[in-house]
Chain A
Amino acid sequence: MDGFSPELWESLRLTIELASLTTVILLMLGTPLAWWIARSKSLWAEAVATIIALPLVLPPTVLGFYLLALLGPNGLGGLLASLWGGATLAFTFAGLVVGSVLSALPLVVQPIRNAFAAMGNRPLEVAATLRASPLCAFFTVALPLARTGVLTGAIIGFAHTIGTFGIVLMIGGNIPGRTKVLSAYLFDYVQTSRWREASWLAGAMVIFAFAVILTLSLIDKYSGRRST
């Protein structure tokens, strides 16, 4: 393992930090969003769902391009950054978080939305006839019943962020210690023909991806058995 610099460990820490923070934000943003989309009968809900789904089909470079414009000095991000004396959100960790959240949002919203839709209206009606206010019913009935969907969403969100590359390159700028995550490291290894390190890193990420997908399948199977 001599070929691995301390920078790589720094990058691993950064990657996990990014994925964790992104997952927390995804759940806080995605859960109410999924709830609204699943229950609203208005056309707006579908329109919003479509916008959320766009990163699934667009190349990451397109999202990256718009984010650069948005986060850059002349965009909203620049305005925001000026609050603490910065000039831009592009090429920063914060910018990376924004990009990761947007690109993983459709993957997180989908399973949570499905879980909310699958439970139907009845549990909430029952809760209402048992004096639970809508907010109380959401936390004591809807959320626990949708827990499998939420867990699935969280795992997918985390894993997707670990594996994200295109958006990282577009708005991260590949700055060691700040925005240089594992996938970018691998790119560097390949560029500099360090095949041995590259194969180690790539192999590790394959194992990680395998573990994630296996976990998801097991959750699915286990919760499926529970509900019958």
Chain B
Amino acid sequence: MRIATPGRVDVAFSGSIAGSSIDTQFSVPAKGVTAIFGPPGCGKTTLARCIAGLEPLPNGFCAIDGEVWQDRTTFRPPHLRPIGYVFQEPSLFSHLSVRRNLLYGAPKPKPTPIAFDEVVELLQIAPLLDRSPSHLSGGERQRVAIGRALLSQPRLLVMDEPLGALDACARREILSFIERLPEKLALPMIYIGHDMAEIERLADYLVMMERGVVTAAGPLHVLQRDPAQLAASREAAVSPDAVVSGYDGRYGLLILRLKGARLLVPAPPFAPGAHQRLRIAASDVSVAREAPRAGSMINVFPARIRACLPLGAAEITLVLALGTGGSGTEILARITRFSFDSLGLKDGMDVFAQLKHVSLLSASEPPLQIVTPSTPAADPDQASAAA
């Protein structure tokens, strides 16, 4: 018998719905963003619909922060679950104005934890309020749909591929809005997607699915360097959160601190102390036995080899712990088996990690940008660096 745990999202559903079967069980903290990741058609949406109560599966279990929504004896119908659900298509009510769409699920007594003005400001929908949904662009509609879900004062926000029906431009725009939600609102979120690039930017926790089954669940950074999970893939990368510690105005370099490393990345200035998510791809990291004396790379750090994972016949992915003695952040490096053998590398060896390229994924305090509905501004979050 499963029990509800305060501070956690506990979910277990198994069974078959409309011909496709799922067997899912996971438990993640009820804070931050949990991404459910898997190829299209693997049952992610079915799982989300089960959480919302839209697919009544017997024998399911769902408890959010200690509150049981469903177990052997209880089944709360969808309208009695304090959930905010963002569908892939915005699905605004076409007979209501944007304002009345936003207020549809808002409780009537005025003072609410998530206030109307705050949401309008956060999603920049003030100019749209009195329009009809039929006169909005796809990105604008999805922003209103997110705002509408937030104003229903949920205890859990579920977003089912909210970018799925949008073009590339609108995707970037919405993604930067979604990125800002977790720091403005203390609300656990479940983000469903099949694009690892989105998930690397947003997620704190990751639930991986394949053919209806949850194959792994845990903190994103743990699964990223887990040999059995993401580290084994060709696109392996880590996305650690760094702290801005300064700016070198002469060369236009942002100084970022990771555990065991101090990175220099060409980027616009950010306020010191701000958190900044990075992306370091395994293919952008190489290793050397000795500190290179003269070279163009500026991000070279001592590191210790924590693990060696063969990738195909010719390559090897190394898990490297940055810092002398290997006590810092772990990153991945992809090298050829030829280099591995000729350098005589082995587990536990101290080496130097050379980072060719570090991408800045998101910023908690982005530089002032006005994202207007019709002309989305150049994306500040894609700033990337080559040394």
Q: Hey, which bits of chain A sit against chain B, CB under 8 A?
A: 122-123, 125-134, 137, 140-141, 144-145, 147, 226-228
Contact = CB atoms under 8 A, between A and B. Distances in A.
B77 A128 contact: yes
Contacts of A133: 79
B52 A129 contact: yes
B219 interface: no
A131 B95 contact: no
Nearest to B106: A130
Contacts, number: 61
Interface in B89-117: 89, 91, 93-95, 104-105, 107
B95 A132 contact: no
Contacts of B148: 130
A128 B78 contact: yes
Interface stretch (B6-14, B63-71, B80-88, B298-306): B80-88
- Rank and list the top 8 A-B pairs by shortest CB-CB distance, nearest first: A130-B105, A128-B78, A129-B85, A144-B95, A128-B79, A126-B91, A130-B152, A131-B79
Interface in B107-135: 107, 134
11 contacts: A123-B93, A125-B87, A126-B87, A128-B77, A129-B84, A129-B149, A130-B105, A130-B149, A141-B95, A144-B95, A227-B134
Q: Indicate the size class of the contact surface on chain B.
A: 20 to 34
Contacts of B152: 129-131
A125 B78 contact: yes
Contacts of B91: 122-123, 126
Contact of B95 (A128, A129, A130, A145): A145
B54 interface: yes
B54 A141 contact: no
B93 A126 contact: yes
A100 B44 CA distance: 52
Contacts of B93: 123, 126, 141, 144-145
A132 B105 contact: yes
A129 B105 CA distance: 8
B199 to A, nearest CB: 23
Contact of A145 (B53, B79, B80, B94): B94
Contact of B87 (A122, A127, A131, A144): A122
